[in-house]
Chains A and B, each alone.
Chain A
Amino acid sequence: MHAQAELPDQVADEACARVGNDRHRLLDVLLTVQHRCRWIAPAAIDRIAARLGLTALAVRGVASFYSFLSLEPRGHITIRLCDDIIDRHAGYDGVLAAFEDALGIRLGGISADGAVSLDATPCIGLCDQAPAAMVNDVVLAGLTPERARDAARALKAGARPEDLVSPVFDSLSAHERVRAAVANNIRLSGDVLLGEVPREAGLRRALALTPEQIIAAITASGLRGCGGAGFPAGRKWEAAAREAAARRFIICNADEGEPGTFKDRVLLTERPHLLIEGMTIAARAVGAREGILYLRGEYAYLRDHLEAVLAERRAAGLLGVGILGTPGFDFDIRLQLGAGAYICGEEGALISSCEGLRGEPKTRPPFPVQRGYLGFPTVVNSVETLCHAARILDRGPEWFFAMGTPGSHGTKLFSVSGDCRAPGIYELPYGVSVQELLHLAGAEDAAAVQVGGPSGVMIGRDSFHRQLSFDDLATGGAIIVFSGARNILEIVDYYLSFFVHESCGYCTPCRVGNVFLREAIAKFRNGHANAEDVAYLRSLSATIIETSRCGLGTTSPNPVLSTLAHFPLVYSVVTKPSDDGLQATFDIQSAIENARGIAKRRSFVFDRDFSQ
């Protein structure tokens, strides 16, 4: 039924040859072997090590880091079902059962003939159309048990994953293939990114400016990084331009791993030229000749489409040597595919990954703008930031500066998902309130909103008046809506499991502390917690935040801390008096009644809608 697997050492030879036996391209080599052999066999590891001049252990170390690389055989068809909390609320259990039933395998299993394997994976960026799954390099969105069963049966009968997307898949263009698989759900287009955007207008203006003038324009616009940290883009470019160096790099961060975030997916699909234009302008500004577009492994279905865009631009003289006839302005971009690791969105880890290493953050300082990719000054910007930059060059910094709030200029793409009628992308100026956004998305039942994904904060109704901006509620763009019917502790538990799964393991507090935090939340869920456990949650969280080495560990306790702050009742109602007798007279109902009055909400356990 399925093609016989190819010999691992032969595939390894070819894969190494294709990258010129360059060890910095180890991730590409491993992805090729995984793709063609469906696992990284010991024979392949030995051959890769010999070809690239590495130890077999070093190759195994990298292969074992990434979720989409496997040291055990996976199916010729590898199904990965998103098991995020959004999908669980949207029917994940039924879809999983349908797959298991129709394929005759359990989650984590592989069919006896090696044809199909079934795994779960964190958010794949289709939160507005959950439940969703990857099937090899295509995606299935809006799954129902029926669709899952049909898909499984078709695959068993020999259909290709592509056939599930469209019966005429082969005759579609790369862009049409993406469109056939995924709806973009652009609900509101703003002036900057999703409205009418003239082609190459920003780049043409940039060519008339000096690099210093380009940087000055970006600085004057007030543009701040949209990947979450909000670092001023102009200052970053300026710092990289200032370093004395033989080579410089522009890296676009399209890792989009924060659960609940899918704006980059939409920009990559609908505004790819604007993005590459932004990268090209950045290259001009800092004097870079080489660029990398780091695309998360979950977005492999966008690869052909993006390669087509790059090829088109090379052919049009918009990439390559002497861009738009400008002598000395040379810049080209390679696409680097990731392999399933949230931490690779962290800029240092992303650079490690591009270098063919385990995706571990780098020690800072030096910062990437000083010593980044291969030790050269490197600007890492998110997709959205680079798109904004191109628009700023076209329309001028004042235009951009005038939008938004005093600390956050321009517009922002919000990825809205969860319990609402109109999930999708909303482009709005910074400063919009959570309430306004919920209203637009038809989320009247919202009782809790996760702002910024798991690494952000969960707020309740008493905070919905707050503004989305760096001055108030900062967010990379994820807005996950939960109705009053949802179990807050289940959500917290899931998010902690996510961080445990995605921690790189480099530093003690994040590697070990997050496991303890998850165990502590389990204690609350099981009804075994007492009042001291709340203090324990707080102190453990504080240690993790204060001693972790990178942003993953410094934010991973946020689900715990923000729910303790905004939904204290969720914890207190499941907390038992401790054995010491001091709280033996504690009456939970009267305590709740008291707290209900203060918090103006009802109990989550004893009343269905805990936040009324």
Chain B
Amino acid sequence: MTDAAFTLTIDGTVVAAKPGQTIMEAADAAGIYIPRLCDHQGLRHQGGCRVCTVKAAGRSVAACTQPAAPGLAVENETPHLHALRRDLVEMLFHEGNHLCPICEASGNCELQAMAYRLGMIEPSKFPYLEPTRPVDASHPDIALDTNRCISCGRCIRASEDVDGKGVFGYVGRGIHRRVAVDGADLAHTDAALSDHAVSADVCPVGCIIRKREGFRVPIGERDFDHHLIGETIAEKRR
């Protein structure tokens, strides 16, 4: 492989890319937003939520892990992909317990914002799984409420790769796969407020909560109260 830059198209727009870049990275650099939940700036790709599904050369792939390739024709904003993504976001809602009106993350939450962006306005056709998961409030500064966890693994990768710790990890298989902590509870881990893993923007939902910071920014003045998720990326193109 050579290091020469090349181009691909996303919904017909010509986009420059470098070898080694994923479709999503090339899109981001060009100011084209591809919806995502498990992928996060500065962290290794997981490719688990599948919300970034695009069609590349006619095949459905995850944009966050699929390498960009010369001449590739990528579809991103199509009604078909929109419907798939909405199904996936609805699945994540129904898998856990989400009561937005009483959630500290409301307005800053990427799941909620994605639901708005994808027009998830009617009641969903899916059943609710209503799991029972205890809240871990043992740590003096941090609480963990996995009722809202979407299994994105961002906390896991941030703790392992950025903090060098391994506070969070997956246990179980299938629908029982869960995020757990390395200890009897959070208080028995080496988690600290200074960890990247517990910084405000790593957990996309209201799962990892920094105590005593709640509602500092009033609802109505939060990130996604004023703009759609993805707008900061799309702004680059203007």
Contacts and interface: CB of A to CB of B under 8 A. Distances in A.
Interface stretch (A113-121, A422-430, A454-462, A510-518): A510-518
B170 A358 contact: yes
A115 B60 CA distance: 51
A517 to B, nearest CB: 11
B70 to A, nearest CB: 15
Interface stretch (B88-96, B139-147, B211-219, B221-229): B88-96
A504 B151 CA distance: 12
A219 interface: no
B173 to A, nearest CB: 5
B65 interface: yes
Q: Which 6 A-B pairs have the closest CB atoms?
A: A505-B177, A57-B182, A512-B91, A503-B174, A55-B166, A57-B169
Interface stretch (A97-105, A543-551, A597-605): A543-551
Interface string A317-350: 0000000000000000000000001000000000
B49 A508 contact: yes
B157 interface: no
Given A505-B175, A507-B50, A519 B180 contact: no
A195 interface: no
A365 interface: yes
B50 A64 contact: no
B45 interface: yes
Contacts of B92: 508, 512
Contacts of B24: none
A55 B182 contact: yes
Interface string B15-59: 000000000000000000000000000000101111101000000
B4 to A, nearest CB: 19
Nearest to A523: B127
Given A363-B65, A516-B127, A501 B48 contact: no
Contacts of A61: 169-171, 180
B195 interface: no
A229 interface: no
A56 B176 contact: no
Contacts of B48: 506-508, 549
Contacts of A546: 53, 60, 84
Interface string B53-85: 100000010100101000000000000000110
A588 interface: no
Nearest to A503: B174
Q: Counting chain A CB atoms within 10 Å of each CB, which of B47, B127, B177, B180 scores highest? A: B177
Given A341-B173, A505-B177, A516 B91 contact: yes
A543 B88 CA distance: 8
A223 interface: no
A57 B95 contact: no
A58 interface: yes
Interface of A: 55-58, 60-61, 64-66, 341, 358, 363, 365, 500-509, 511-513, 515-516, 519, 536, 539-540, 543, 546-549
A536 B124 CA distance: 12
B230 to A, nearest CB: 19
A516 B168 CA distance: 28
Interface in B151-203: 151, 166, 168-177, 180-183
A547 B53 CA distance: 7
Given A503-B173, A505-B170, A536-B125, 10 more contacts: A58-B169, A341-B173, A501-B174, A504-B177, A505-B174, A508-B48, A511-B95, A513-B91, A516-B94, A543-B83
Contacts of B62: 549
Interface residues of B, number: 39
A516 B92 CA distance: 12
B129 interface: yes
B50 A511 contact: no
A500 B171 contact: no
Contacts of A56: 182-183
Given A508-B48, A519-B127, A57 B180 contact: yes
Contacts of A548: 50
The listed residue with most A CB atoms (<10 A of its CB), out of B50, B53, B67, B183, is: B50
Contacts of A505: 151, 170, 172-177
14 contacts: A66-B173, A363-B47, A363-B65, A503-B174, A505-B151, A505-B172, A505-B174, A512-B91, A512-B92, A516-B94, A540-B87, A543-B87, A549-B47, A549-B50
A392 to B, nearest CB: 32
Contacts, number: 114
Given A508-B92, A509-B88, A516-B127, A60 B171 contact: yes
Contacts of A341: 173
Contacts of A501: 174
Nearest to A361: B47
A61 B173 CA distance: 9
B126 interface: yes
Tell which of A55, A66, A341, A358 has the most Cβ of chain B within 10 Å: A55
A576 to B, nearest CB: 17
Contacts of B151: 505, 508, 511
B114 to A, nearest CB: 12
Nearest to A343: B173
Nearest to A66: B173
A341 B171 CA distance: 15
B140 to A, nearest CB: 21
Contacts of A512: 91-92, 94-95, 129, 175
Contacts of B180: 57, 60-61
Contacts of B168: 57
A66 B129 CA distance: 23
A58 B88 CA distance: 28
A536 B177 CA distance: 26
Contacts of B47: 363, 507, 549
A262 B51 CA distance: 37
A53 to B, nearest CB: 11
A23 to B, nearest CB: 13
B227 to A, nearest CB: 25
B175 A503 contact: yes
B115 to A, nearest CB: 14
A508 B180 CA distance: 18
Interface string B88-126: 100110110000000000000000000000000000011
Given A56-B182, A358-B170, A509-B91, A516 B126 contact: yes
Given A516-B91, A543-B87, A508 B173 contact: no
A536 B65 CA distance: 29
Contacts of B65: 363
